[in-house]
Amino acid sequence: MVLEAKNISFQYGRDTKQILENFSLRMESHERVGIVAPSGFGKTTFCKILSGYEKPDGGEVLLDGKPLSSYGRYCPVQMIWQHPEQVVNPRLRMREVLKQGDEIEEYIVEGLGIEEDWKNRFPAEISGGEMQRFCIARALGRRTRFLLADEISTMLDLITQSQIWSFLIGEVERREIGLLAVSHSMPLLESVCTRIIDLEHL
């Protein structure tokens, strides 16, 4: 499958800085694309537009030539956020959070190092890193075709980072899920991605 962003322009309200201007990107399922840029370049905003959280002021997002809204309730482009605590309902136990995903298989849960007793806890009772693993697992549902990873490993220690990234790379490669990784860390992207776009030196 092909995920395309055509001539995207975006700004948050009038009289604010134009964040994205005529930005285009085309990526295929077998690719792992990295976007690197310093803070404030609109990396997160671009991810939000790609997965349909924000509507662009100009341009369009197409998956295999069709808009995302034509793919039914489950969005095939899933996003993993930098701050997992914002995207998890604080009143659900982690077991329920996991069930929100589209038939998450057990090997994914195990591969990400999620421990059985974390599942009975509420989000307030686990750490950010533990919660992030649930969010990654939740995004790896059956119908996911593209995965947008927005600074997903900033709260993880180095060993956990490499464990999670190597699982993630194996998984997207096997299932031919397109991966878009966003970071300000060039070394991380170089070890993860097949193609890197530097927004600062475009």
Partner 1 sequence: MKHLNGRMAAVFLFGLAVLFLAAVTAAGWGFEEEALVTDFSRKNLEPCGQYLFGTDWLGRDMFIRTLTGLSMSIRIGLLAAGVSSVLALILGTLAATMGKTVDGVITWLIDLVMGIPHILLLILISYALGKGFKGVVIGVALTHWTSLARVIRGEVLQLKEALFIRTAQKLGATKFEIVWKHMLPHLFPQFLVGLILTFPHAILHEASITFLGFGLPPEQPAIGIILSESMKYLAMGRWWLALFPGLLLVFTVVLFDVAGESLRRLLDPGSAHR
101 contributes a contact to partner 1 by CB under 8 A: yes
**Under the criterion CB under 8 A, does residue 75 sit at the interface with partner 1?**
yes
**Can you tell me the distance from the alpha carbon of 189 to that of 180, in angstroms, rounded to the nearest whole number?**
10
DSSP readout, 96-141?
HHHHTSSS--HHHHHHTT--GGGGGS-GGGS-HHHHHHHHHHHH--
* CB 195 to partner 1: min, Å: 25
Cβ proximity to partner 1: between 1 and 68 the closer is 68
- Which residues ranging from 144 to 163 are in contact with partner 1 (CB under 8 A)? none
Q: Taking CB under 8 A as the rule, does residue 78 contact partner 1?
A: yes
Output the CA torsion sign for 127, 102, 93, 113.
negative
Amino acid at 163: Q
28, 74, 127, 191: residue in contact with partner 1 (rule CB under 8 A): 74
Which of the stretches 1-9, 13-21, 38-46, 48-56 binds partner 1 when contact is defined by CB under 8 A?
Answer: 48-56
88 is a contact residue toward partner 1 (CB under 8 A): yes
Would you count residue 20 as binding partner 1 (CB under 8 A)? no
Give the integer Cα–Cα distance in Å for 185 and 35: 10
Candidates 8-16, 110-118, 121-129, 161-169; binding stretch for partner 1 (CB under 8 A): 121-129
C-alpha to C-alpha distance for 114 and 198, rounded to whole angstroms: 33
Asked if 153 and 188 touch (Cβ cutoff 8 Å), the reply is yes
Residues of the shown chain interacting with partner 1 in the complex, contacts defined by CB under 8 A? 51-53, 72-75, 78-79, 81, 86-92, 100-102, 122-125, 138, 141
